[in-house]
Structure 1
Amino acid sequence: MLNKVPSLIGLLFLSIVLIGCNGIQGNPTPKDFLTADDADIFLFKDVVYSNSEHVEWVTESDYTRGEEMAEITKQASSAWWFTNGTANKLPVGTRIFYTDSGFVIAIVDEKEIPYVAMIEG
């Protein structure tokens, strides 16, 4: 029986790993978006936010702008260089604000541009 213990532990460990990894998808990454020519995204706290100027529920929402949540610190066109605070189109220095309506607002040249968090699930 003692000879089988290491084999059983190994089999149990393998089973846990396989079961635990099954179905893990996570949130989309910058790489998932940057293949599209019209992608307009930024990354904050490891969550991708996508421009939502043409999303009906966003454009029809009345909202109140809240506290500042982030500022764009760099631009990148490759997912390889994306870190928190990076955008592919928003200029460096763009300030991002929370709203009370489920999206955030970027201020560019006094224009308010809505972005929605791309969260899986």
Structure 2
Amino acid sequence: MKRKIGVYICECGPNIAEKVDIDRVIDAVSSLDSVVVAERYKLLCSDDGKKFLEEQIKKHSLTHLVVAACSPREHEKTFMEVCENAGINPYLFQLANIREHCAWVTENRDEA
């Protein structure tokens, strides 16, 4: 089965959007092998955000999901449930913590 990876970057309100150049991240990941869609969303952990992800998984027939957002401690289970609800294996999901590991460690947007 061909991998079809979706990458979604959460703005996390101002926490990520004001510090990380999300468009630059999207440009970078869009060219990676097997990435079929890369998009940003204002708050992926919200009810609307979870619904958006489920729709995207189905629309693009994704086999894998990457969410760049906040701490896995807070929302890994949330997004694993989204995967299950959309019909993909939740263990083919990865949460990249760009809030604590990028946005909150520097005031410099270029470094983040």
TM over 0.5: no
More helix per residue: 1 or 2?
A: 2
For the pair shown, which has the larger CA radius of gyration, 1 or 2?
Answer: 1
Greater RCO (CA < 8 Å, at least 6 residues apart): 2
Task: Specify which structure has the higher proportion of strand.
Answer: 1
Q: How high is the TM-score relative to the length of structure 2?
A: 0.31
Normalised by the length of structure 1, the TM-score is 0.30
